[in-house]
Each structure stands twice: as structure tokens, then as C-alpha cells.
Chains A and B, each alone.
Chain A
Amino acid sequence: MSHDLAGIFSGFIGLVPITLAQSLILSFVALAIMVPFRLLNFQDLTSEGAFPLGGAVCAVALAGGLNPWLALLLGAAAGFVAGCCTAAIHLRFKIHSLLAGILVTTMLYSIDLRIMGRPNLSVFGAPSVYDALPAISDPSGAKIAVAGGCVVIVLVLLELFLKTELGTAMRAVGANPDMAEAQGIAVARATLVGVGAAAAFAALAGALMVQSQGFADVNMGLGVLINGLASLMIGEALVGRRSVTRQLLAPVVGSIAYYQLVSLCLAAGMPPPDLKLATGVFVMLMLALPALRRGSARAAA
């Protein structure tokens, strides 16, 4: 028994670096979910479509010989456009934001296939952003450094932005849209840009992932949304959301914790096909927690 535990443990430890690299990349998806949900009060599902879109654009750009950093930015830019589409569909046609996100995600599947010209595209051997630090010979170490660097840069920029005049106005749109409008803030424009930026983060994650794994696949977005949501919930439980800084840290901390937890479960022998079911149940329980607490409080009273 103790031998089993030791085996599980050493299996898990061996995977920590690669899991960490993966979770740093995917923390951008959690961030892409947090920004519309928490800062703009806009329920958005576009990440699921923006992630493979960013990957597809990045892969084609790499295959065309573009600089890997430019390929990242190009992927993120494509995500921005996708996010703007979701916001515009909601704002212009009054279609529910969740449905707008599903519509865009569905349409993006065809667009991804058009962009790549086939269901998957290998960019193995093409230069990647993870080559930027030749001093780090370990591939996982290089990925952790580069992806971690990207995370730090984006968080610092977001933190600084949210404390500017414009950033404060953006937060007001989520906190009280009627009030924001009465204070002269163009709510529709702020929503468009904010949801666009969020989808750009998801697309950036897709682009980083493609360069990490060496290929893009049209199905690579399947389930990233629910993983991101689970990450965000864990992060908010760990660091809270009382301040802007904590709210920004939550998706990253949560993503790191969530993927290590998944890795531990897999090392302990959970069959991989059950993963989505387990994650779904977990997210559902986290969402049900307030209702369950109220119920038990009523029973106690």
C-alpha cells in the first residue's frame, strides 16, 4: 500500500513541471473567462472558440515562416475580432450573450478549418517563442519561463490599466451599467472592447499551446471553457476577489492549482475519459454551494 502511494507520488512529482507549463498557458483561458464575467458582468462562452482560432491562426502563420512572437500576436488579434463579434451580436440584436458566444464558437469551427485547410496542422520543427531562452536547456523549464513571463506581463499591464481613468470606467460598466452610462461612459463600446480583449487572451492561450505541442487541431478547444471555469473558481476560493489585484491573480493561481489537482487524480489512477465528468461535477458543486448553504441554514433554523 505504502509502495503504491510512493509510486503515485513519484509519478505525480515527475509531471509537475510539464503540468505547470501547461497550466500557465491555460491560465489565459481562465483570465479570458474572468474578465467578462467579473469585470464586465457579461456572461461569455467565446473562449471555447477563440482558443482553437488563436491556435489555427498561429499555426498557419508559423507554417508561413512568420516570427513566432508575431504569430502569437496575430492569433490574439484574431481572438479579439471573435470576441467583438460575440459582443456585437448581443448588443445589436439583443441575443443572449451565452447564445451569442455559442453561435460564434460554432461558426469559428468552420472558419478554423478554412484557415488551416485541414483538421490539423503540424508546426513541428518551426521556431517557437520557447526558444527565446536558450540558457534553459530543459524544454519544460523554458516553457514555464516564457509562459510565466507572458502571464506576469499581461497581469501587470491589466493591473495598471484597471487603475487608469479608462480602466475605472470599464469596471463601472460591469458594476452598474445604468450608472456608468449616466456618467457619460459609452457602455456598448466598453463592452465590445472588453469582451474582445478577453477573447484575445483565450486566443493567445491557443497560440501558446500550439507552439508548445507543435501542432494545431480544430478540436483543441473542446472543454477548455469548463476547465477554465473550474480554475477560476478554485482561484477565487484561494485568493478571493475583494480587490482588483486579487481578482486578477485568481485565474492564474486557480489554473496552476487545478491542473496539478487533475494531474494528481490521473496519477492516482483515475481513467482519463472520466476527467470531463469529474470536472463538470466539480464546477456544478462549486456553483451550487451558495444554494446548498442557504438550504442547510434554513433547515437549521
Chain B
Amino acid sequence: MLEIRNAVKRFNVGQPDEKTALDGLALRLAAGEFGIVIGSNGAGKSSMFNAVSGALRLDSGQVLIAGDDVTAEPVHRRATRVARVFQDPMRGTAASMTIAENMLLADLRGQRRGLGRGLTAARRRLYGERLSVLGLGLENRLDSRVDLLSGGQRQAVSLIMAVSSQPALLLLDEHTAALDPRTADLVMAATVQAVQAFNLTTLMVTHNMQHAIDHGDRVIMMDAGKVRTEIAGDARRQLTVPALVELFAVKTDAMLLSVH
């Protein structure tokens, strides 16, 4: 479960280019709920994600994950509960290390790392099984360096790394935006499968209106650093792409274009 209370973040305070990134943002996501965040550039989506992951310190307000106030915790402490997949496939993996080593790093997320052997036979088997879900044959390439994979394959590995330790909260930051349409669909399908299988509390940012309609329990539209509209239940089921685009007063063309 995620709760954001009255979050405020301003940049360059007192200077001519002062910018309010988060302006009293409030958001609640129940355990197991899948929220889709949409909004134009500068609406505060990235700031919200950074505030939740710990990369951004709030000026005021609180972030609660699974009922605990994590506002003061740095990124590596929050990693116990939060997993994040970035838009850029390069950011989520260690390129010069092997697939199996990357899986190990994610497997031990938030746990105490000791002087025991890292890649045991049992772990390698487990990671192979986890990767085989993708159907990309990556389970046979456990000892390949990640920089030998395509962007789509890397992103698929990032996703498996993020979900397999069953985090209390999964953040998907436009994670299919940099991929070609076919790979994007594959990664999206794997995402939905994992979120359902593990009943993960998930927040996903997307500019793809079709994805926003097809997936998730609730559409959250952000504007000017706060939640402007939330659509759930019956209204959410009847939602169409044109209707959703209608909600955007600005940058409508860009949104329509990104439907396909």
C-alpha cells in the first residue's frame, strides 16, 4: 500500500526560475491496486516517483509504504520495499555484469548481503526459471554480459529483477516507452502477468493512452504537481481513448499521436 500526504517540493526557491514540482500532492493506493499515472510533461509525475523511491527529498509532506513512514529514508533503505523500472533500459541493469549476477543483485534487494557464495547452483536454477517466463530464451544465457542484450531484452530482465523479489510497491516509469512496439507489448504483457501473479501494488507512468485504458484499476491524471482527476470503477471501464484525451486541456495533439 502507498500513501502520499500533502507532498510539496519546490526547486530553485527564491530565484526567478523557481518551480513547484509537487504542490500538495495526495494519493492513496490500496494493497494490490494497479494505478496508471498520466499527465503532460512537467505535471510532476517524475517528481512523484522520485519522492516515492527516495531519490527526491520532500520540502514537506509524507510518504508511507505498507503503513510505514519512509519520508526520511534514503534510496538504498527504501529499496527493501520499493522496486523501480526506468524508461532507459541502461539504468536498471549493470551492463558489465552477467544476467545471473544482475538477478542476484535484485534477488538480495533490501536483504543483508553476507560473505556466502553469491551464485549458488540453486540460485542459478531459480533465476533461470524466473527468466523463462519471458519466453526470450534468456534462461540459457545466464552467463552473458547484459551489454550483449538488446534494449528490449535488457528491459525484460529489469522487469523480472524488479518483480521477482515481490516488492511492497512496484514503480514503472514509462518502462515500455523506449522500446519498439512488439517488444513493448511483450514487456507490457509480462508486466501484467507478474503484477497479477504476485498481486503487486503498482504505480505506472505512461504516455500511451491505450495502455492506460487496457491495464490497471485506476487512472490517475496529474497536473501542476497534484492529482487532477482519478477515474475508477464503472467510469474507468467505460473509458475510451478520445474521452481520456478530452481530459487533457493541453498538449492534446501529442497525446493523440502517442496512441499508436
Report A's interface with B, CB cutoff 8 A.
Answer: 161, 163-169, 171-172, 175-176, 178-187
Asked whether, in the complex, the Cβ of B76 is within 8 Å of the Cβ of A164, the reply is no
Q: Is the CB of A181 within 8 A of B118?
A: no
CB distance from B66 to the nearest CB of A (A): 16
Give the contacting residue for B104; candidates A161, A165, A180, A184; CB below 8 A: A165
Q: Are B115 and A164 in contact (CB under 8 A)?
A: yes
Closest A residue, CB atoms, query B81: A184
Q: Is the CB of B118 within 8 A of A165?
A: yes
Beta-carbon contact of B118 and A168 below 8 Å: yes
In the docked arrangement, what's the CA distance between A179 and B96, Å?
Answer: 12
- Which residues of B sit under 8 angstroms from A175, Cβ to Cβ? 94-97
Q: Are the CB atoms of B108 and A165 closer together than 8 Å?
A: yes
Whether A181 and B104, one on each chain, are in contact in the complex, defined by CB atoms closer than 8 angstroms, is no
Query: Are the C-beta atoms of B94 and A180 separated by less than 8 Å?
Result: yes
8 Å CB contact of B94 from A164, A172, A187: A172
Instruction: Tell me how far the C-beta of A192 lies from the nearest C-beta in chain B, rounded to whole angstroms.
Output: 14
Bound CA–CA A182/B116 (angstroms): 22
Question: Chain B 84-126, CB within 8 Å of chain A: the 1/0 string?
Answer: 1000001111111100010011101111011111110000000
Q: How many residues of B contact A (CB 8 A)?
A: 31
Given A166-B114, A168-B118, A175-B97, A181 contacting B108 (CB threshold 8 A): no
Contact A167 B118, CB 8 Å, known A176-B93, A176-B95, A179-B94: yes
Q: How far is the CA of A166 from the CA of B118 in the complex (A)?
A: 8
Contact (Cβ within 8 A) A183 B118: no
Cβ-defined contact, B76 with A185, below 8 A = yes
- Residues of B contacting A167 in the complex (Cβ-Cβ under 8 angstroms): 118
Cβ of B7 < 8 Å from any Cβ of A? no
Residues of A within 8 A of B80 (CB): 184
Residues of chain A within 8 A (CB-CB) of B117 are: 163-165
Complex CA distance for A180 and B53, rounded to whole angstroms: 13
Partner of A163, one of B83, B93, B96, B118: B118
Chain B residues closer than 8 Å to A181, beta-carbon distance: 75-76, 79
Q: Are A169 and B91 in contact, CB atoms less than 8 angstroms apart? A: no
B116 touches A165 (CB 8 A): yes
Which A-B residue pairs are the 10 nearest by beta carbons?
A: A184-B79, A175-B94, A165-B113, A184-B110, A176-B94, A168-B118, A166-B113, A181-B75, A184-B109, A183-B105
| Chain A residue, CB-CB nearest to B82 | A182
Q: Is the CB of A184 within 8 A of B94?
A: no
How close is A126's CB to chain B, nearest CB, in angstroms?
36
B106 CB, min distance to chain A CBs, angstroms: 6
